Structure 1
C-alpha cells in the first residue's frame, strides 16, 4: 500500500527542557501528563550506543514497556535492510518506520524478508527537480538513490554505507526514463558534499528546493536526506497512531538530530538526548542522558515507575 497523503505536524511551543535524566509527571501549567500509550524512538545516536548495540538495560526497559501495554515504535532514517540490529526487539506488532517516514516495515520475517506495509514514495519528477536545484545551489554535490529494493549512486559518491551499490551512474540518468531505479519506489535521495558545513548545506538546500520535497539530515557529515513533500518521521508516525486511535498527547518520543525535530515537536512528551543536536534540544519538551548512558531507558524506567 502506498500513501502519499501528508499529515501536517502539530506545532507547539516546547516546554522548558528538564535537566538530563529527569522526567516530570506534570505538563505545561502544572496539568497532569496523559499516560503514554506509545513510545517512538530514533535509533542511531538515541536508542543505540555508539557501537550500534542495544544495551541490556535498554532491552529490559523496552520489554517492560511492552509488558505494561505501551507500544514501542522504532522511527529511523535507516533503510529496512539495516534494521536487523533491533529486529529482535519489535515485540508484538513488529512494525518500524524507516527512511525518515518513507516506509512502514513489518520486521517479523527476519533479515531479507521484511514486508513493506506502507510506502510514501518520492516521485521521480520531484527527485529530479531536487537533484537539479541542490546541484545548482551547492556545486560539487553527489547523490545516491535509496529504494524499497535497491541502492544506487553516482560514481563520485563516497563509500558511506554498508553495501555496494546496485548501479553506478549520474543521478539524472538513474532517475530518468528507463533508468536503473524505474522498477521500485524511491524512498529518498541522499546528497553529500565533501567540504560544506553540514548545517549550512542543509539550509542552502532547503532554500533552493522550497516545498517541492522534504530535506533533513541525521549524519554528522554534510549528508542530506531528501524525501517526498510532507514526508517525515512525524507525519508517518501520526498515520500509524491514527490507525490505533492514539493521540499525539499519548506519545513519548526520543531523538537526537534534525531529522527528529518534527517528531519531537509533534509528540505530547519528547526528549532530546544528552548528545543531541541543538535543533533537537530546542524541539523537545525535555532532555535525558546521552545514548551511551542509556538515556531512553532512564525515561522509560521513570515513566513505568510513575504508573499506579
Structure 2
C-alpha cells in the first residue's frame, strides 16, 4: 500500500471496531476519523452482524447520511440515510434449528424479524440483541424464513461451542462461530460481509484495489480477505489477525482511527 493510496470504499465493523464494548460508545477520535474519510470522498459502509435496529443508532452517531449499511452479516441491506430496508436474503431456520439442538442442548434461540426485533425461545440480555424481544414457542420461531438465526449456548464457553460444532456443515446456510461469546450465528448460504460488499462494490463500479475493511471478529474474516487492505483490531483473535494485511491497536486505544488518520490525515 503506497502512502498516496486512498480507498474509495471503506467497510467498517461496529462492535469491537467502531464501538468499544466496554464503554458502549464510539469515541470522538473515531468519529472524527470517519468524518475525515467521508470528507475525502470515500464511501463508508457500516458492515455489521447487528440487526437494522442495532445499526441505526451507530449511523446516527457517525453522522452517516448517505449510501447503505450492511446488517445481519450481510443478509440485510439498509439505506443509511432513511433506515429503509432495501434488500433481505433469508433461509429456512427449521432444519438448522433441529441440527443445532442436537449439538448444543439447552441453547436458546433468536430469529430476526427485520425492522421489528426478534422472536426468542428465552430472553437474551438487553445488550445482546437490539430491539424488542418476543417470546415464542419453537414452532413459531422457525415457522418462516429469516435472515439470521442465533443460538446462544448459555453457561458454556466459546471453546465448547467450537468443539461441538467442529467439522459440521449445514446446507442452505452460512454459520459463524464466535471467539467472545458462546454463540452460533446463521445466515443464508453464501452470505457473508465479504460477499455483500463485493456485490455492492460491483454495483458502484469501484475498482477492487480501492477497497478497505476493518474488523475484529470471526464474522469479519471474509470481509478482511475481500478488501484490498484489511485491518484487524488488536484485541481480535489470531485467526482474524491472520486474515488481515495489517493489525492495528485495540478498540480501547482507537486503533481504527490511527489507520484512517494515517491514510486520510
TM-score by length of 1: 0.78
Look up the match of 1:168.
136
Look up the match of 2:255.
295
Please, which of 63, 69, 72 is the counterpart of residue 99 of structure 1? 72
TM-superposition CA deviations, 1:39-75 (whole Å, max 9, x none): 1110100111231212111111111111111111110
CA–CA distance in 2 between the matches of 1:99 and 1:150? Answer: 12
Look up the match of 2:158.
198
Return closer, same or farther for 1:206/1:187 CA change in 2, 3 Å cut-off: farther
Return closer, same or farther for 1:257/1:102 CA change in 2, 3 Å cut-off: same
Secondary structure in structure 1 of the residue aligned to 2:212 = strand
Please, which of 7, 10, 15 is the counterpart of residue 44 of structure 1? 15
Please say if 1:154 is aligned against 2:125. no
Look up the match of 1:144.
110
CA–CA distance in 2 between the matches of 1:207 and 1:55? Answer: 39
Secondary structure in structure 2 of the residue aligned to 1:216 = strand
Return closer, same or farther for 1:242/1:261 CA change in 2, 3 Å cut-off: same
CA–CA distance in 2 between the matches of 1:153 and 1:205? Answer: 22
CA–CA distance in 1 between the matches of 2:163 and 2:224? Answer: 20
Return closer, same or farther for 1:265/1:298 CA change in 2, 3 Å cut-off: same
How far 1:294 moved relative to its partner?
1.1
Identify unmatched segments of 5+ residues in structure 2: none
CA contact (8 A) 1:202 1:215 kept: no
How far 1:248 moved relative to its partner?
2.9
Please say if 1:129 is aligned against 2:132. no
Q: Which moved more, 1:187-196 or 1:214-223?
A: 214-223
Please say if 1:58 is aligned against 2:30. yes
| Cα RMSD (Å) | 2.2
CA contact (8 A) 2:6 2:264 kept: no
TM-superposition CA deviations, 1:169-188 (whole Å, max 9, x none): 12x44223xxxxx4xx5110
Identify unmatched segments of 5+ residues in structure 1: 1-23, 27-32, 177-181
CA–CA distance in 2 between the matches of 1:304 and 1:35? Answer: 7
Return closer, same or farther for 1:65/1:221 CA change in 2, 3 Å cut-off: same
Look up the match of 1:14.
none
CA contact (8 A) 2:13 2:48 kept: yes
CA–CA distance in 2 between the matches of 1:232 and 1:90? Answer: 25
Look up the match of 2:41.
69
TM-score by length of 2: 0.89
Aligned length: 260
Rg larger in 1 or in 2? 1
Please, which of 161, 164, 169 is the counterpart of residue 209 of structure 1? 169
CA–CA distance in 1 between the matches of 2:178 and 2:66? Answer: 26
CA contact (8 A) 1:73 1:95 kept: yes
Secondary structure in structure 2 of the residue aligned to 1:43 = coil
CA contact (8 A) 1:256 1:276 kept: yes
TM-superposition CA deviations, 1:228-262 (whole Å, max 9, x none): 00111110111111111113321111000100000
